[in-house]
Amino acid sequence: MYLAELQFKVIADTDFTSAESAIRRYIETLIFNGQVLGREFPTAWQQDSFNSRIVLPDEQALQQKHHSDKGLDALQQLAPAGLAYPQVHILGMDLMSQHTDPCHSADFYILYSRFNDTCSPVRCGEHFAPVPLYLLNTEAADHEKLIRWQLQYQALDEIQMQQTRVLVKSAERSLQQLNSRLNKQGRQLARQLERANNTAVYYALYSGSSNNCEKEPDKPCPGCGGNWRLKQPLQQLFDFKCDNCRLLGNIAWDCQSPS
Ligand SMILES: [Zn+2]
Ligand SMILES: [Zn+2]
């Protein structure tokens, strides 16, 4: 990932409110299309320009050919707010976030997220590296639904990772139960992505605790009840894979002996 600065030069009379809302609108369209990562974009007003700090999945991420229609429209709305088209300055590699997947097309994808990710929730099946969403087809106008799903997933994961947890069980249930609203939504989004890209998309079903650790390594697929245990773990993370249900799973973390 790359740390970058977007510079919006002031080209006509403007006021802070209209400049701020035009910039916010533009950058949010980039976020919901996977061209900008994370939710924060600190912005400073420096004499004749506004400068926003952003994280990009790739150096080319902001090329107009990757914009959604909403992004192109928001770009046109900068001029009426007194701002020029933005200039991108790449500041360097972001050391805090994952590296983007090198594949042009993957054999399969994995929908996966954790609380501390700053990256796309879609991973390459081979490298487990994040795939920028703007490079994937979607049935919708952009990837907003997937990004909003990821935000909720990360928020719940954050809650159940804390030492002194509030809402422990309800957060864990949302992440762990196949038919929680969160997982239903995620699996539906995975199916849509699979259709739009003609590539299998597996949903990574989180497993934190179990009430029977003895049976945990042989638990059946929660979708079809079949045997889904892998001989070799995938990406050192997944012990289970069901091709019919497009599910990946792990032996509950609480049941794994620390090595
Ligand atoms: Zn890859
Ligand atoms: Zn299954």
Q: Is residue 162 part of a domain?
A: yes
* pLDDT tens column, 75-95: 999 999 999 999 999 999 988
Tell me how far the alpha carbon of residue 241 lies from the centroid of ligand 2, in angstroms: 8
Tell me how far the alpha carbon of residue 256 lies from the centroid of ligand 2, in angstroms: 22
* pLDDT tens column, 37-78: 999 999 999 989 999 999 999 999 999 999 999 999 999 999
pTM score? 0.93
pLDDT for 160: 86
Note whether 88 and 55 are same-domain residues.
yes
Note whether 73 and 135 are same-domain residues.
no
Tell me how far the alpha carbon of residue 44 lies from the centroid of ligand 1, in angstroms: 36
Considering every ligand atom shown, identify the ligand nearest to the alpha carbon of residue 225 and give its number: 2
Note whether 58 and 139 are same-domain residues.
no
pLDDT for 8: 98
What's the number of domains the chain is made of? 2
Q: What is the CATH number of the domain that holds 40?
A: 3.30.70.100
Share of the chain above pLDDT 70, in %: 98
Token pair recorded at residue 153? 């997933």
Considering every ligand atom shown, identify the ligand nearest to the alpha carbon of residue 205 and give its number: 2
Report the candidate in 2, 70, 1 with the shortest Cα–Cα distance to residue 30.
70
Instruction: Note residues around ion ligand 2 (Cβ under 5 angstroms).
Output: 221, 223-224, 242, 244-245
Note whether 250 and 167 are same-domain residues.
yes
Tell me how far the alpha carbon of residue 108 lies from the centroid of ligand 1, in angstroms: 9
Q: Is residue 133 part of a domain?
A: yes
What band does 97 get if pLDDT is binned at 50, 70 and 90?
A: confident
Note whether 60 and 172 are same-domain residues.
no
Considering every ligand atom shown, identify the ligand nearest to the alpha carbon of residue 246 and give its number: 2
Note whether 117 and 236 are same-domain residues.
yes
Tell me how far the alpha carbon of residue 110 lies from the centroid of ligand 1, in angstroms: 11
* pLDDT tens column, 102-112: 888 899 999 99
Boundary (domain end) residue, out of 93, 126, 155: 93
| Mean pLDDT over each residue of the chain, to the nearest integer | 94
With beta carbons less than 8 A apart as the criterion, state whether 83 and 14 touch: yes
Q: Which residues of 27-58 are buried (b: 16+ CB within 10 A; e: fewer)?
A: bbbbbbbbbbbeeebebeeeeebbbbebbbbb
Q: Is residue 40 part of a domain?
A: yes
What band does 176 get if pLDDT is binned at 50, 70 and 90?
A: very high
Give the residue, 209 or 144, on which the prediction is more confident: 144
Considering every ligand atom shown, identify the ligand nearest to the alpha carbon of residue 244 and give its number: 2
Boundary (domain end) residue, out of 44, 66, 93: 93
Tell me how far the alpha carbon of residue 188 lies from the centroid of ligand 2, in angstroms: 15
Tell me how far the alpha carbon of residue 191 lies from the centroid of ligand 1, in angstroms: 20
Tell me how far the alpha carbon of residue 245 lies from the centroid of ligand 2, in angstroms: 4
Q: Which residues of 133-172 are buried (b: 16+ CB within 10 A; e: fewer)?
A: bbbbebeeebbbbbbebbeebbebbebbeeeeeeeeeebb
**DSSP conformation letters of 202-253:** EEEE-----S-TTTGGGPPPTTT----EEEEEETTTEEEEETTTTEEE---G
**Cα–Cα distance, 183 to 175 (Å, whole number):** 7
Tell me how far the alpha carbon of residue 220 lies from the centroid of ligand 2, in angstroms: 8
Which residue segment(s) compose the domain that 167 sits in? 108-255
* pLDDT tens column, 184-216: 999 999 999 999 999 999 999 999 999 999 999
Considering every ligand atom shown, identify the ligand nearest to the alpha carbon of residue 221 and give its number: 2
